[in-house]
Amino acid sequence: MAFAVPAGPSFAYDPASGFVWHGAARRLTERRMTPDRTILDQTLASAMAAAQGGDGEAYRRLLRDCLPVIAGMARTQGVRPDAVDDVVQDVLLTIHRARATYDPARPFLPWLRAITQRRAIDRMRRAGRRPQEVHDPIAYETRADSGPAPGQGLESRDRARILAEAVAALPEGQRQAVEHLALGERSLDETAELTGRSKGALKVNLHRALKALRRTLGPNPDERTPGHERERGTHDV
């Protein structure tokens, strides 16, 4: 609990911060942040304060919210894409160990950035110590990166959302066939037992569902099914 005088600029004593220019650290950092960033910082700061009190759910949310922030900071630091996961996990472990050092009167993101930068540097140093032999500079320059491409996560999330919407729009029988047979990778017997439909009907429904999905999600109009084919076989069996 801070013994601070809120009106006007003043020195305040906080057992966690010592003598501080009241709110100065947070104000200085907030001035440099965009409004979205400030909201994110405040959200993370309050979640960490709750986690210090033992709130496991707030802590889980905090760590999940931190994942993209840490990954972005690690990439900015120059960590190779295939090493970002390791840095993220190192940072999560360090956050867990250092959580008592976080002072909720101060902004959260600089605290997180300091940990991430340090762990990224540690990781790059360890990687740098491993012997690497490169005989062909051109091969080195043109080597394909084994890690995911930037923005791949966003794209895959978008694709998953569009596919989920298209599947949800299918008639009931076709949707069940896609969900159980294609997405759930269940056998025809299992699916027949679960849905109460015959195996033949399931096969027909799956075929029609795939055709409908191809029509809905096809990359250009030329690949879409012609109108006369669309007329037949669109309903459930």
Partner 1 sequence: MSANEGRTMSDGVHSPSHDRLVDALAGDLKPVRRLPAPSLRALTWCAAVFGVGLVAMPFADLDALHIRMAVPDLRYAALGAVLTAVTAALAAFQTSVPGRSALWVLAPVLPAALWIGASGMGCLRGWVVPGTDLPDAHEVGGCFAFLLSVSVPFSLGLVLMLRRACPLRPNLTAALVGLSAAAAAAALLVPFHPHDATATDLALHGVAVGLVIVVNRLAGGRLLAGKR
Contact 79, 120 (CB under 8 A): yes
Task: Decide if residue 128 touches partner 1 (CB under 8 A).
Answer: no
Residue from the set 102, 174, 176, 195 that interacts with partner 1 by CB under 8 A: 102
Nearer to partner 1, 151 or 196 (CB): 151
Task: Decide if residue 17 touches partner 1 (CB under 8 A).
Answer: yes
CA torsion, points 170, 175, 178, 181, in degrees to nearest 10?
-160
**Count residues contacting partner 1 (CB under 8 A)?**
56
**C-alpha to C-alpha distance for 70 and 192, rounded to whole angstroms:** 45
Nearer to partner 1, 102 or 191 (CB): 102
Among the residue ranges 47-55, 176-184, 202-210, 223-231, the one whose residues contact partner 1 (CB under 8 A): 47-55
Nearer to partner 1, 92 or 237 (CB): 92
Task: Decide if residue 63 touches partner 1 (CB under 8 A).
Answer: yes
Residue from the set 21, 39, 76, 110 that interacts with partner 1 by CB under 8 A: 110
Min dist. Cβ of residue 150 to partner 1 (A): 8
Min dist. Cβ of residue 57 to partner 1 (A): 7
Task: Decide if residue 148 touches partner 1 (CB under 8 A).
Answer: yes
Min dist. Cβ of residue 120 to partner 1 (A): 11
Site residues (CB under 8 A) for partner 1?
14-19, 51-57, 59-60, 63-64, 67-68, 70-71, 74-75, 81-82, 84-86, 88-90, 92-94, 96-103, 106, 110-115, 118, 147-148, 152-153, 156-157
